[in-house]
Amino acid sequence: MVFRKPPDGGWGWVIVVVSFFTQFLCYGSPLAVGVLYLEWLDAFGEGKGKTAWVGSLANGIGLLASPVCSICVSSFGARPVAIFSGFMVAGGLMMSSFAPNIYFLYVSYGIVVGLGCGLLYTATVTITCQYFDKRRGLALGLISTGSSVGLFIYAAVQRELIELYGLDGCLLIVGALSLNILACGSLMRPLESSSSPRPEKMCVDKISDQYFVYREKEKTVEENISILEKGYIDEKCVNNVPDCKQDIILNKNVLSSINANEKDTYRKKVVEQTNLCKQLAKRKWQLYLTYWKDTVVLFKNKVFSALFVAILLFDIGGFPPSLLMEDVARSANISEDDYYMPLISIIGIMTTVGKLILGILADFKWVNTLYLYVTTLLMTGVALFAIPFARSYLTLAMLSGILGFLTGNWSIFPYVTTKTVGIEKLTHAYGILMFFAGLGNSLGPPIVGWFYDWTQEYNTAFYFSGFCVLLGGFLLLLAALPCWNACTNQSSKLPPNTYSYKVASNT
């Protein structure tokens, strides 16, 4: 597939709008799952740790399966994947309304909805990058706010739907709303040149075609020889019987020699094809070896190793508040009359603000982005330590806003990764880090829930969460202090296209 030059506008703005609504529709419910979490606790009577697995899987499985999602989008295109994933998200939400137990929700809501969201995220980012080059940062920034706006709106909408129609009716309606993803996906027109020449087939295909043509040629030669042989022999046999027998023997010898040559040619073709297959297999094996060697080289970088630990610990400790904050308020015996806005909605809107402000700060030359990221980690740890001391709605709302703003550090994380490993190794390094981020998202809420089941209060759980985030921040700070200048010098020697990624990192 040959793509045209990104137009940086035109139909690309339609892509931005539909990608925004796609992320809004698919991530709204999973990110605001804290409202549903309270209802599932009451409906199934399971422990908080076991129930928290539902929301953590829905948010973590997409990151864990990010390599598979990328392969699907590369193989089938953004539009087919978006339409198919729309069915997955809508179907998973609707099936969850009929869940007889918590284990059914693990599959219907956790895996099906989570995997659908991961596919949709990859599809929207890919199609947007194809349509934009110079304005890619602005385009990605706009579509990334769809998930945060979805969190803000869905938290209030799901609460109202539960009061009006119950938990089952809420999931059915939210699932029906997700069917609008199909309309958004159908507008993701691929950017490809219809007048471009068709790419040549690969060597393996060529050999297969040659083999097929050769087989047809072999059959044709045999048929022609048999026809000529038969006609010639019949004519001879009518005129002279002794000559007929001699010619039959002679023709058989000639035919056998022709067939022998043809068979030798066929054997050579088979040997060539076998050798080519062996070379391809050897090349694939070399690629795998190179991948693992590059991975080992990445982990020899102190800053990257510390960044890997920091993102894992940050997601283990920093993600649970967005899922459990509503239950924290209920455990603190805060009256519903004091609620002016769901705490999860506050987290959502402040995450959007954090993404924009932190992304803008990262563009200033006098701002060290790695230290900025470390600062957000340390402040997140302190805010998590303060949650057990909050006994009023106002205090919890302030802490929710602070945590939401600091969670916006996702916008500068790609830039920090680029500064650490360089633009050449960004894809490889970012894939590894996102996998462990998904692992942290999946493990964080259940661990906090288990702490509650064990102690019957959230104090110990959030002390543990704060300790994890602070530990990751201090490890990254210690690793960065002796060698950050070297990393900066290496990044300054990067090719000019580094600046284009710097702008894109504002998302």
Q: What is the CATH number of the domain that holds 99?
A: 1.20.1250.20
Least confident of 91-95, 428-432, 472-476: 428-432
Counting Cα atoms < 13 Å in the Cβ hemisphere of 445 gives 29
User: Phi and psi at residue 47, in whole multiples of 5°?
Assistant: -70, 160
> In this predicted model, what pLDDT tens digit does every residue of 140-154 receive, in sequence order?
777 878 888 888 899
**Nearest one of 115, 119, 151, 113 to 34, comparing CA atoms:** 151
In a domain, 306, yes or no: yes
- Whether residues 169 and 314 share a domain: the answer is no
In a domain, 417, yes or no: yes
**Boundary (domain end) residue, out of 147, 172, 193:** 193
**For residue 103, what pLDDT is reported?**
93
Q: 474 and 347 in contact (C-beta within 8 Å)?
A: no
Summarize the confidence of residues 375-383 as an average pLDDT.
Answer: 93
Taking 90 as the threshold, does the pLDDT of residue 496 lie above it? no
In a domain, 62, yes or no: yes
**For residue 281, what pLDDT is reported?**
67
The span from the CA of 105 to the CA of 502, in Å, is: 40
> In this predicted model, what pLDDT tens digit does every residue of 172-207 receive, in sequence order?
999 999 999 999 999 998 876 544 444 444 444 444
**What radius of gyration do the chain's Cα atoms show?**
31
- Report the alpha-carbon angle 331-410-174, nearest 5: 55
Q: 193 and 181 in contact (C-beta within 8 Å)?
A: no
pLDDT band at 225, cuts 50/70/90? very low
pLDDT band at 208, cuts 50/70/90? very low
- Both tokens of residue 382? 């302190």
Q: 379 and 399 in contact (C-beta within 8 Å)?
A: no
Q: 175 and 90 in contact (C-beta within 8 Å)?
A: yes
pLDDT band at 165, cuts 50/70/90? very high
In a domain, 499, yes or no: no
- Whether residues 311 and 444 share a domain: the answer is yes
Mean model confidence pLDDT for the chain: 77
Burial (0-12, 13-18, 19+ Cβ within 10 Å), 296: exposed
The span from the CA of 146 to the CA of 152, in Å, is: 10
**Boundary (domain end) residue, out of 136, 159, 193:** 193
- Whether residues 173 and 311 share a domain: the answer is no
**For residue 412, what pLDDT is reported?**
78
Task: Name the residue with higher pLDDT: 503 or 29.
Answer: 29
- Whether residues 8 and 144 share a domain: the answer is yes
- Whether residues 187 and 311 share a domain: the answer is no
User: Phi and psi at residue 138, in whole multiples of 5°?
Assistant: -65, -45
Query: Which sign does the torsion angle of CA 239, 244, 250, 254 carry?
Result: positive
**For residue 484, what pLDDT is reported?**
47
- Whether residues 21 and 154 share a domain: the answer is yes
Q: Running DSSP on this structure, what letter comes out for residue 179?
A: T
Taking 50 as the threshold, does the pLDDT of residue 233 lie above it? no
Least confident of 65-79, 131-145, 146-160, 480-494: 480-494
Q: 333 and 459 in contact (C-beta within 8 Å)?
A: no
The span from the CA of 391 to the CA of 464, in Å, is: 19
> In this predicted model, what pLDDT tens digit does every residue of 86-142 receive, in sequence order?
999 999 999 999 999 999 999 999 999 999 998 998 888 888 877 877 776 677 777
Chain center to CA of 289: 23
Q: 462 and 388 in contact (C-beta within 8 Å)?
A: yes
**For residue 179, what pLDDT is reported?**
94
Q: Running DSSP on this structure, what letter comes out for residue 8?
A: S
**For residue 325, what pLDDT is reported?**
84
- Whether residues 327 and 186 share a domain: the answer is no
Q: Residue 406 to residues 316, 381, 411, 431: CA-CA distances in angstroms? A: 15, 10, 10, 22
- Whether residues 12 and 151 share a domain: the answer is yes
The span from the CA of 29 to the CA of 238, in Å, is: 90
At how many degrees (to 10) do helices 114-131 and 48-64 cross? 30
**For residue 105, what pLDDT is reported?**
93
The span from the CA of 331 to the CA of 347, in Å, is: 19
Outline where 301-368 has alpha helix (H).
Answer: 302-318, 320-331, 343-362
Task: Name the residue with higher pLDDT: 10 or 264.
Answer: 10
- Whether residues 9 and 133 share a domain: the answer is yes
**pTM > 0.75:** no
Q: 323 and 378 in contact (C-beta within 8 Å)?
A: no
**Boundary (domain end) residue, out of 155, 175, 193:** 193
- Whether residues 319 and 445 share a domain: the answer is yes
- Report the alpha-carbon angle 147-365-402, nearest 5: 40
In a domain, 241, yes or no: no
**For residue 200, what pLDDT is reported?**
45
Taking 70 as the threshold, does the pLDDT of residue 318 lie above it? yes
Taking 60 as the threshold, does the pLDDT of residue 441 lie above it? yes
Number of domains forming the structure of the chain: 2
Taking 50 as the threshold, does the pLDDT of residue 461 lie above it? yes
**Nearest one of 81, 100, 112 to 43, comparing CA atoms:** 100
The span from the CA of 20 to the CA of 153, in Å, is: 14
> In this predicted model, what pLDDT tens digit does every residue of 323-340 receive, in sequence order?
788 888 888 777 766 677
Summarize the confidence of residues 75-96 as an average pLDDT.
Answer: 92
In a domain, 504, yes or no: no
Summarize the confidence of residues 448-465 as an average pLDDT.
Answer: 87
In a domain, 257, yes or no: no
- Whether residues 49 and 186 share a domain: the answer is yes
In sequence order, the 6+-apart residues with CB closer than 8 A to the CB of 370 are: 303, 416, 419, 420, 476, 480, 484, 487
- Whether residues 310 and 449 share a domain: the answer is yes
The span from the CA of 326 to the CA of 36, in Å, is: 10
Summarize the confidence of residues 223-249 as an average pLDDT.
Answer: 49
- Both tokens of residue 311? 């993102």
Residue 74 belongs to domain spanning: 1-193
**For residue 445, what pLDDT is reported?**
84
User: Phi and psi at residue 341, in whole multiples of 5°?
Assistant: -160, 140
Q: Which amino acid is at 476?
A: L
Q: Which amino acid is at 342?
A: P
**For residue 228, what pLDDT is reported?**
45
In a domain, 183, yes or no: yes
**For residue 367, what pLDDT is reported?**
80
